Amino acid sequence: MTTRYPASVDVAIVGSGPTGAAYARILSEQAPDATIAMFEVGPTVSDPPGAHVKNIADPDERAHAQLLSEGPDAQDDGERVGGIVKTAARRARPGTYLLDAGYQVDGEDGLPVAAFSSNVGGMAAHWTGACPRPNDSERIGFLDAEGVLDELLSEGERLLGVTTGAFDASPHAPLVRGRLATAADEGREEHERVQRMPLAVHRRDDGQLVWSGSDVVLGEPTRANPNFTLHDESLVTRVLIEDGRAAGVQVTDLRSGESHEVHARFVVVAGDALRTPQLLWASGIRPAALGRYLNDQAQIVFAVRIRDFVPAAGSEGEARTGLSEYSGVTWVPFTDEMPFHGQVMQLDASPVALAEDDPAAPGSIVGLGLFCAKDLQESDRVEFSEDAVDGYGMPAMTLHYTLSAADHATIDRAKAEVVRLGTAIGEPLDDRPFMMPLGASLHYQGTTRMGETDDGDSVCGPDSQVWGVPGLFVAGNGVIPTSTACNPTLTSVALSVRGARSIASALASV
């Protein structure tokens, strides 16, 4: 870690989440002589930098790390646990903070709980680690046509440390999978059937399960790279452009308030799907599609209790991190016929508290979440102000977002389906499913979307380079151009791999 900025580097990366980390890792492996500087607006909250906060064993230390991640106005309001639970109230999950204004325009649905994290590792320090592959129309057709998408996804799985057997010791997970399979598998192809959720989770040498964060993506090749530096509490306010090409970044040291220019041959903006277009807009880089096609995944939740299964004595295991052996995550893949993605997990693995667990049968509360694919609309967008600013002094944003008739039909189908699947598992805790406030998925996409050609409907090309601005690349969930229901992190990391390879190739050719 260093707080002194270099005058120039080969590659400047804005954002330390999994996609920015993927650029640093691939460049460290394929262009080890390249100098790389990574800038993160938030502080370092875990050790190693970018590690998931759930791996912090002490609950008070974990809560403190979450608090530090909650933006420029972070404060402890005394409600440090839970999440958004059967209420329309605007309440953020620990480790995140809400957009304080502009989240809903009169007459529109808006994204009332649109949220961010500001910390080294980004949202990957707080996520649930689900890494399913996209299916059917979730896949990016022009990359499929090139025959490269699956290879990129495999490389993304390597970087994220994705496994499928982390929770094989869970006493309830096989029962849940079996009952779900009976209810859901008929008519599905093999790869679309109920299965273990691919998770960025691994087992430490001491036997404990831990979540992957950006630390895993960076890996030893990046940490051991003497040409790589990570600068926290560093706000990038502008991408520098010279002769029409990306030439570096302007960055403010939040500790001292001083502003610096760091010149670079390549710039990668790897923020979230709201702040990446914000930085481009603030830099005067405003292609027609910037901020448009914003999409979230409406989330329908339901909870059941398993009463007819008692785990064998001694199977509980002690959780010294934020995971226990009772956890289990099951996946019901998206299909075009059933346009939602199912994520089913025991209570202690869930980021949303749906009920109190049964102390007599730990792990017996099972939460079901169906994520719905959005009907993509150009009018769903994030706009930026010429005058007003946010807590970091960047252009304030306003979200325009409306559910279409097709979206409402999908949501109605998902409500019926989640009850059907939940009833197949156990005894419902409530009569009706609950739709989380829009924005709760934290899976915002589309605002810097990738396209095969520069047709005005995309911001970047197939290698993530911004149209018309050589040397400028975008990364993150905002790059995904399709309507997805599955968790997007694996796909966005895969797309980052392709972009990083493009930069590495360009560096090698000079």
In which residue are the tokens 């109230």 written? 89
Do 497 and 155 touch, CB atoms closer than 8 A?
yes
Question: Does the structure show a pLDDT above 60 at 322?
Answer: no
Whether 231 is catalytic is: no
Based on the fold, state whether residues 235 and 314 are members of the same structural domain: no
Domain presence at residue 1: no
- % of the chain surpassing 90 pLDDT: 80
- In this structure, what token pair is assigned to residue 386? 């010429």
The runs of H, that is alpha helices, within 348-448 are 405-425
Report the C-alpha gap between 369 and 251 in whole angstroms: 40
Residue 358 has pLDDT above 60, yes or no: no
In a domain, 203, yes or no: no
Round to whole Å and give the CA distance between 273 and 247.
Answer: 23
Q: What angle, rounded to 10 degrees, do the helices at 489-509 and 149-160 form?
A: 100
Q: What is the mean pLDDT of residues 98-123?
A: 96
> 87 vs 184, 265, 297, CA distance in Å?
29, 48, 18
Radius of gyration of the chain from its Cα atoms, rounded to whole angstroms: 22
Q: What is the mean pLDDT of residues 451-474?
A: 98
Averaged pLDDT for residues 419-425: 96
Contacts of residue 402, Cβ cutoff 8 Å, sequence gap at least 6: 108, 109, 377, 379, 380
The angle subtended at Cα 150 by Cα 374 and Cα 486, nearest 5°, is 25
pLDDT value of position 168 = 83
Rounded Cα distance, 32 and 35, in Å? 8
| 205 occurs within a structural domain | no
Same domain, 306 and 336: yes
The enclosing domain of 267 has a CATH number of 3.50.50.60
154 and 192 in one domain?
Answer: no
Q: Report residue 290 CA to chain centroid gap.
A: 20
Q: What is the pLDDT of residues 81-96, one digit of tens each?
A: 433 344 456 778 899 9
**Average pLDDT, rounded, for the chain:** 91
The reply to whether 44 falls in a domain is: yes
Residue 202 forms part of a structural domain = no
For residues 321 and 473, the model is more confident at 473
According to the model, what pLDDT value does residue 314 have?
A: 47
Q: Which of 44-58, 65-79, 432-446, 494-508 has the lowest mean pLDDT?
A: 65-79
Q: Residue 27: pLDDT above 60?
A: yes
User: Which of 504, 505, 509, 494 is CA-nearest to residue 155?
Assistant: 494
388 lies in the same domain as 422: no
Residue 359's domain is classified under what CATH number? Answer: 3.30.410
* pLDDT at position 261 over 60: yes
Is the full-model pTM beyond 0.75?
A: yes
Calpha distance 77→92 (Å, rounded): 11
Residue 204 lies in a domain: no
CB contact set of 481 (below 8 Å; sequence gap of 6+)? 140, 293, 446, 449, 450, 451, 458
Residue 169's alpha-carbon distances to 131, 329, 360, 426, in angstroms, are 20, 12, 19, 20
Q: Are 425 and 419 in contact (CB under 8 A)?
A: no
Whether the CA torsion 106, 111, 112, 117 is positive or negative: it is negative
Same domain, 44 and 117: yes
Looking at the fold, whether 99 and 216 belong to one and the same domain comes out as: yes
Q: Which two tokens stand for residue 190?
A: 């093999």
Q: Which stretch of 11-20, 329-338, 353-362, 449-458 has the lowest confidence by average pLDDT?
A: 353-362
Task: Determine which one of 231, 341, 400, 443 is catalytic.
Answer: 443
Q: What average pLDDT score do residues 167-177 get?
A: 84
Task: Quote the pLDDT of residue 86.
Answer: 42
pLDDT at 327: 62
Mean pLDDT of the 164-174 span: 84
DSSP element (H, E) containing 30? helix 18-30
Give 357's pLDDT tier (boundaries 50, 70, 90): low
Cβ contact 30:257 at 8 Å:
no
- Domain match, 328 and 393 both: no
| Whole-number Cα distances in Å, 466 to 124, 132, 453 | 25, 27, 11
Q: Are residues 385 and 368 in the same domain?
A: no
Contact (CB, 8 A) for 477 and 487: no
Residues 33 and 110 in one domain: yes
Which DSSP string corresponds to 155-176?
HHHHHHT-BS-TTTT-SSHHHH
Token pair 């306010």 is found at 237
The answer on pLDDT for 353 being more than 50 is yes
Residue 324 has pLDDT above 70, yes or no: no
Q: How many domains does the chain have?
A: 2
User: What confidence category does residue 76 fall into, taking pLDDT thresholds of 50, 70 and 90?
Assistant: low
List the single range of 324-328, 407-411, 481-485 with lowest mean pLDDT.
Answer: 324-328
Alpha-carbon torsion (113, 119, 123, 128), positive or negative: negative
**The pLDDT of residue 347:** 54
The Cα–Cα gap between 509 and 495 comes to 22
* pLDDT at position 290 over 80: yes
Contact 491, 497 (CB under 8 A): no
Asked if 19 and 38 count as a contact pair (C-beta separation under 8 A), the reply is no
pLDDT band at 42 (very low <50, low <70, confident <90, very high): very high
Q: Is residue 246 part of a domain?
A: yes
Q: Report yes or no on 206 lying in a domain.
A: no
Out of 437, 460, 484, pick the residue that ends a domain.
437
pLDDT of residue 1: 46
In this structure, how many other beta carbons lie within 10 angstroms of the beta carbon of residue 158? 14
Pair (292, 419) in one structural domain? no
pLDDT at 323 over 70: no
Q: CB within 8 A of 389, min separation 6: which ones?
A: 395, 396
Q: What residues contact residue 59 under an 8 Å CB cut-off, 6+ apart?
A: none
CB of 381 closer than 8 Å to CB of 403: no
Do 305 and 342 lie in one domain? The reply is yes
Instruction: Decide if 459 contacts 286 (C-beta within 8 A).
Output: no
Helical (H) or strand (E) element with 95? none
Domain shared by 352 and 499, yes or no: no
Residue 437 has phi, psi (to 5 degrees) of -55, 140
Question: Whole domain around residue 393: which residue ranges?
Answer: 8-162+212-296+378-399+445-509
- Concatenate the DSSP letters of all residues of 350-365 into one string: -SS--S---TTSTT-E
